[in-house]
Amino acid sequence: MDEKYFEANKKMWNEFAKEHFKTESDFYNVREFLEGKTTLRKFEQEEIGDVKGKKLLHLQCHFGLDTLSWVREGAIVTGVDFSDEAIKLANQLSEQAKLKANFICANVYDLPSVLDEKFDIAYTSVGVLCWLNDLKKWAEVIAHTLKPGGIFYICDGHPLSHIFDVDEKENFIPKHDYFPKNEPMEFIADGSYAAKDKHMEPTTEYEWNHSLSEIINSLINAGLRIQFLNEYPFSSMQIYSFTEQDENGYYRIPKTKIQIPIIFTLKAVKD
């Protein structure tokens, strides 16, 4: 990755981590987590299965809410993130929650040089792939970290949902390319998705789009066998303004509108 892209995104995520960690943040809700609430989605737990006693690697873990939720499920967990501020806060959260986990500050691509351990499960979830420019290398790192028979699991925004924006009449309009490009998309961020009423100094961020075929083929070419791919018409965050929250807390497109997949999950195994 071009160093300027990495440094710009790291700067932004360091600021995000400090804002997201605040106990008044409704999106991350650290207070409820410390009171015992899990941040894991029910379908993630069902699709991954029992993690008790298993070594789990959480890639792009932010400040560790999901990481430590897996500890509560009985896993032996290592979390990795490129934001030093996020890792500092993850260690702080670990102490506050009295949950033991190992946190490493590293770019995903550098992981083989800083981590020798092999894992039963590699996990990554929601809003992760758009920060990666090279899925071929990403998949190779995942395969490198897994034991034979180990599994990889991802839940993330569906690539199809990323091409659309919404107009003033709340209709979908195509805005971004579906197929990947070498050069990233450039945006100016002056606030966080998790704290929309808070503003920060505008900063440049860079994102990459990835097609479903690119994601799947990268994992296959790294030696992983796909066990399933699931597509869901809902998300745990409000991506579109007109989505409505259901009884499980997921945001869904109203039945009066065209239905598209909003998130996907995928599970693969290293034979």
Would you list the domain boundaries of the chain?
3-157+206-232+261-270
* Token pair in block for residue 98: 């009295």
pTM over 0.85: yes
pLDDT tens digits in sequence order for the chain, 271 residues long: 578 999 999 999 998 988 888 755 677 888 999 999 999 999 999 999 999 999 999 999 999 999 999 999 999 999 999 999 999 999 999 999 999 999 999 999 999 999 999 999 999 999 999 999 999 999 999 999 999 999 999 999 999 999 999 888 888 999 999 999 989 999 998 877 766 666 678 889 999 999 999 999 999 999 999 999 999 999 988 889 899 999 999 999 999 889 999 999 999 999 9
The token pair at 96 is 């506050």
Say if CB 191 and CB 198 are below 8 A apart: yes
Collapsing DSSP to helix, strand or coil, 62 comes out as coil
Helices and strands in the chain, H and E counts: 8, 14
Question: What architecture is the 3-157+206-232+261-270 domain classified under in CATH?
Answer: 3-Layer(aba) Sandwich (3.40)
